[in-house]
Amino acid sequence: MIPIFSTVESVLATHRRRTHRVEFLNNIEAEIDSQRQRGSLEEEDVVLWKHKGDKFRPRFSSKDTWYLTRELQPIKEWYKGIWFTHSTPKYSFMAWLAIQNRLSTGDRMVGWNMGAPTACTFCPEPMETRNHIFFECPYSAKVWRSLTHKLLDSMFTVQWDCILGFLVDNAQDALRLFLLRAHLTKTVDLLGEAVWLCRWPASPLRVVVGCPRSVDLAGALFIEEWAKFWDPGGS
């Protein structure tokens, strides 16, 4: 057995050939013999880094190492719709979680705890899902419509997959595309925070949204918060 920290020099000098049942180990033995026959024992060891295409070079490349140590996946087109120029990282991160379906919605929580509440935070829907919150729920649909019905006009929809398609439609006007992306990421962030706050017993939103469930009042508070985002000074 060759110790894991052995150098090529020490292996060539001390290793004795063995026959193995595994083919790749026999190939290693053959390579050791080949190096001995070439007179490599007298040469200095060198450090080589593996690059793309199974090529070894003396120069280290963090980019090549990154690609060699990860499993490559197809590029997702929707990334342009949330990680865009002048985007807010916090909002983009929340939108990324939503797209990956990693938010703590009712359908996911019941998988962790059978006793967890599964009903929608904003309406009587018995099973809260990502697509329901964004934006099939009457409450979130009202908020989304209030913010984007003029922007989307006849293309307005509450269907999550359709909205993601709009985010990467470069045929749209650049300003309109930016506003749509900004609206979605901000809305996902605020609605995500509202879901969490409504589940917190001491939250004032439990009174506004839950007892009774008032879409109009909660939507008004939400839109007021959105207005602060665009005009922090209140001018």
DSSP string for residues in 160-200: HHHHHHHHT-TTS-HHHHHHHHHHHHHHHHHHHHHHHHHHS
Residues 135 and 85 in one domain: yes
Q: Give a yes or no: residue 13 inside a domain.
A: yes
Helix, strand, coil percentages for the chain (3-state, nearest 5): 60, 5, 40
Q: What is the pTM of this model?
A: 0.66
Q: What pLDDT, on a 0 to 100 scale, did the predictor assign at position 85? A: 94
Residue 123 is classified by DSSP as S
Look up residue 40 and give its two tokens: 């490599």
Range of the domain at 61: 8-68
Type of residue found at 124: P
Q: Give a yes or no: residue 202 inside a domain.
A: yes
Residues 91 and 17 in one domain: no
Q: What pLDDT, on a 0 to 100 scale, did the predictor assign at position 123? A: 87
Residue 143 has pLDDT above 60, yes or no: yes
Q: What pLDDT, on a 0 to 100 scale, did the predictor assign at position 99? A: 96
Phi-psi region of 11 (alpha: psi -120 to 50; beta: other; left: phi over 0): alpha
Residue 62 has pLDDT above 70, yes or no: yes
Residues 118 and 194 in one domain: yes
Backbone φ and ψ of 229, nearest 5°: -65, -40
Residues 160 and 128 in one domain: yes
Residues 113 and 210 in one domain: yes
Residues 48 and 144 in one domain: no
Residues 53 and 96 in one domain: no
What is the number of domains present in the chain? 2
Boundary (domain end) residue, out of 18, 37, 68: 68
Torsion, Cα of 60, 56, 69, 63 (10° steps): 40
> Could you tell me which residue, 41 or 20, shows the higher pLDDT?
20
Residues 117 and 219 in one domain: yes
Using 50, 70 and 90 to split pLDDT, how confident is the model at 223? low
Boundary (domain end) residue, out of 68, 98, 114: 68
Q: Give a yes or no: residue 18 inside a domain.
A: yes
Positive or negative torsion for Cα 110, 113, 115, 117: negative
Residues 51 and 154 in one domain: no
Residues 111 and 36 in one domain: no
Q: Give a yes or no: residue 110 inside a domain.
A: yes
Q: Give a yes or no: residue 2 inside a domain.
A: no
> What are the pLDDT digits (tens) for 104-138?
999 999 999 888 889 988 888 999 999 999 999 99
Q: What pLDDT, on a 0 to 100 scale, did the predictor assign at position 142? A: 87
- Tokens 């879409």 label which residue? 215
Residues 13 and 117 in one domain: no
Residues 59 and 91 in one domain: no
Provide the angle, in degrees to the nearest 10, between the axes of the packed helices 215-230 and 174-199.
130
Residue 162 has pLDDT above 50, yes or no: yes
**How far apart (Å, rounded) are the C-alpha atoms in residues 160 and 101?**
12
